[in-house]
A = this chain, B = another copy of it.
Amino acid sequence: MHPIKNGCKYLETIQSQHRLKFTFYYKYLTMSLVQEFNDYRSKMNEVILAHDHLPLKRFFSLDNQMYQEGALPVKTKELLGLVASMVLRCDDCIKYHLQKCFENKVSSEEIYDVFAIANMVGGSICIPHTRRAAEFWEELIGNREEAKG
């Protein structure tokens, strides 16, 4: 058995015996930034939507509609979502749109054009978010190369 998984298995036994919380710790050891972000996002979106708050559900649904093809293509809309997330400095929103950009074949050169404009408009206060964005982007690129290689 995988030694980390094995160690985690052991921790899970302790956890269930003692009702402690360390799910996140487990994840940290075994997951990539991308997986970790997506897992938490899916899990908590489910929790939120399960509360069945109609206007809030409509808000979530409208958020999806906004990025569908309109006068502007999906790719441009995702670039807009990314730059808006960067100047408002929300790491999770940045990660979400970086993934969408990646799926829509945005190149690294184009991503860095967005990074540059975001820093110019939003200021040096955006630099730490740019560092985390760059790390996430490298992982997305890295995963693709690994898949090919």
Query: Which residues of A are at the interface with B, using a C-beta cutoff of 8 A?
Result: 2-4, 14, 17-18, 20-22, 24-25, 28-33, 40-41, 44-45, 47-48, 51, 53, 55-56, 58-60, 62-63, 65-67, 70-72, 76-77, 79-81, 83-85, 87-93, 107-110, 112-128, 130-132, 134-135, 138
* B25 and A29 contacting across the interface, CB-CB below 8 Å: yes
Overall SS of chain A's interface: helix
* A124 and B63 contacting across the interface, CB-CB below 8 Å: yes
Identical chains bound together, number: 6
A72 contact set on B, CB distance < 8 A: 79, 110, 113-114
Sample (6) of A-B pairs whose CB atoms are under 8 Å apart: A21-B31, A25-B29, A56-B119, A66-B120, A79-B79, A120-B124
- CB closest chain-B residue, reference A92: B128
Contacting A41 at CB < 8 Å: which of B51, B65, B112, B131?
Answer: B131
Contacting A59 at CB < 8 Å: which of B51, B84, B109, B119?
Answer: B119
A17, A45, A77, A123: which has the most chain B beta carbons within 10 Å? A123
- Complex Cα distance, B108 from A71, in Å, reads 9
The 3 closest A-B pairs by CB, nearest first: A123-B123, A71-B109, A92-B128
